[in-house]
Structure 1
């Protein structure tokens, strides 16, 4: 089953290569097409990290007492 992060990992190189190639075919210089395509790829990464970031499914409880004594 394909999850969101699997799709993002697949879309990053597809967006970078596909958009750069498309813009190049449309007449943009390669030195312009690649930065524009990279903005889209970085946008995908940013969305995956900050908008729809990975979270733990179970909430964490308070830290347990590990038995260490303070050094006095």
Structure 2
């Protein structure tokens, strides 16, 4: 499992989990969803722009 697999798993967890936690604490649903969505978008932005996915160069063929 790498960083991007972790992010893909955390996006729905953050969206649903934070929404549930915030509504349990007493924040209205119409406020909790955008707040949790902001966290999810922040994780996506971090994965796309801070830790950019890069292709690893192909290994050179062994010379004989």
TM-score normalised according to structure 1 size? 0.78
Q: How many residues are matched? A: 58
Q: Residues 14-64 of structure 1, C-alpha deviation per residue, up to 9 Å, x if partnerless?
A: 0000000000000000000000000000000000000001011118xxxxx
**Which has the greater radius of gyration?**
1
Dislocated runs of 4+, deviation >6 Å: none
Residue number in structure 2 paired with 1:16: 15
Q: CA deviation at 1:5?
A: 0.5
Taking the aligned partners of 2:37 and 2:43, their CA distance within structure 1 comes to 10
